[in-house]
Amino acid sequence: MRVRNDAARWLRRAQWSARRSAANRRRGTCFGVGIVLGLGMLAVAPLMLRDGNNNNNNNRSNNSREHGLATQDDAPGSRSGSGDLRGAYVETPETKEPARRRPVTTIPSTTSPERTRRVAYVVTVTDDGPFIDGAAVLAHSIRKSHERSRYEAVLCALVSPRVGSASRNALLFLGFGEVLEKELPINVSQIEGQTLRSLWSTDPKKGGCCGAWELLKLYAWTLTGYDRVVHVDMDCMLLQPIDELFEIDAPLVYTSDYNMMNQKQRARKIEPAVQGGFLVVKPSLDTFRSLVAVSQAGHWGGNYGSGWERSGIGGWWGGSTIQGLLPYYFSRVSTAPAVEVDRCVYDNMVDKAVVDPGPRVGASACRKTDLNDVKFVHFTVCQKPWTCNPNRDPDDADRLCLRLHQVCVATSRLRCRP
């Protein structure tokens, strides 16, 4: 069973479509949702055809706010030196072609009618690799869910300098309207903490998923042209709108990953690991800079005891970056606290129940969550739907993994052959 995926044809198409995307973006179509649909695309077309539009021209208003990109006018932060999104596509859109309004994504806010409220969904790519099926499923799911949202959704990608042009073009093709190359936000040779300095001086990819490169996720806070930025991993699906989270006034809305911690850490009620696959961020350059400062100091492990600054927070997998840095920062450094939400609703990984003690927020057993209550699913324990091999863990008695895979296959038009 497999997803149709002919790499060579895929890349030819992706490169071709990236040129189309570039042309679209010159017309002011940043988020390019479904930019090249209806063209018989090979690898991911089945995922996208259901949108049924081939709108190369969205006849969007001239208002640059609507272009899905920050400009110097509406992104005060971009003036102060981050450079993100600056000088993005603000040319007057062409209106020669017959206009077809994209049927998805832009639904005026009911509470703020004077302007469309926008959120960016952001992914980080640290290396070339087989991420494209996941990215296609994710992008499609965001488009579908935002048909029912009051917020306009924009897709963007942060990539390391190692990521090649084929991957970047593939992202553009999938509708990631901005692909922003980013260097590490810290200087590894200048880290004070000896443990992280020597670890990352040897190999910055070491530790957790991607080592220091995991810190590219911090750039989510720099995208100040958006009301909120949702940083997500590429093995996820948005099943329902999450507007209620965008209304929370906090620098970070997150779910905890209790199962990332050991029994002792949970019993001591150490500030729990932040699940790195789902972060709702309120952009702020100040927050970005202070997070980078803590990370640059790098007082993690070694002389500094377990976790960050002997706090024990972050003494786990991925703890030296996002999954430990964020809980440490928002519980011990920041005056504005982060807000935890139910991991079974907003980042359901169908992982084992959290017991003794139970979670601070939300349900204990995500495997028991009603399918209709899951708003965001993260395919870790379940395996990836596009590999067509769902986890059949006997402990998942209600077969939530299987059912989530079925939802994914049905809504994405993935084809799994026996």
Q: Which residues bind ligand NAG (CB under 6 A)?
A: 59, 61-62, 92, 99, 101, 187, 189-190
Question: Shortest Cβ distance from residue 94 to ligand NAG (Å)?
Answer: 11
* Strand-pair partners of 159: 125, 181
Identify the three-state secondary structure at position 254: strand
Least Cβ distance, residue 100 to ligand NAG (angstroms):
7
Beta strands 228-232; 178-181: pairing state: unpaired
Q: Which is nearer to ligand NAG, 15 or 59 (CB)?
A: 59
Residues counted in the chain: 418
Give the CA distances from residue 226 to residues 119, 190, 310, 371, 392, in Å, rounded to whole numbers and listed in that order. Answer: 5, 32, 35, 30, 40
Of the two residues 187 and 335, which places its CB atom closer to ligand NAG in the complex? 187
**CB of 349: closest distance to ligand NAG in angstroms?**
35
User: Where do we find the tokens 């810190």?
Assistant: 215
Q: Which is nearer to ligand NAG, 94 or 398 (CB)?
A: 94
Strands 152-159 and 118-125: parallel
The residue among 57 and 369 lying less far from ligand NAG, judged by its C-beta, is 57
Q: Which is nearer to ligand NAG, 99 or 355 (CB)?
A: 99
Inter-CA distances, 158 with 128, 155, 220, Å: 13, 10, 9
* Cβ nearer to ligand NAG, comparing 110 with 189: 189
Query: In angstroms, what CA-CA distances link 283 with 78, 80, 141, 219, 230?
Result: 11, 14, 23, 9, 10
Q: Which is nearer to ligand NAG, 165 or 190 (CB)?
A: 190
Q: Report the residue number whose CB is nearest to ligand NAG.
A: 62
Shortest Cβ 146–ligand NAG spacing (Å):
20
Q: Provide, rounded to whole angstroms, the least separation between the CB of residue 66 and ligand NAG.
A: 10
Q: How far is the CB of 93 from ligand NAG (least distance, A)?
A: 8
Report which of 132, 158, 122, 182 is spatially closest to residue 384, judged by C-alpha positions: 132
Could you identify the residue written with the tokens 């995922």? 47
Whether 338 and 326 have beta carbons less than 8 Å apart is answered as yes
Task: Tell me the closest approach of the beta carbon of residue 126 to ligand NAG, in angstroms.
Answer: 17
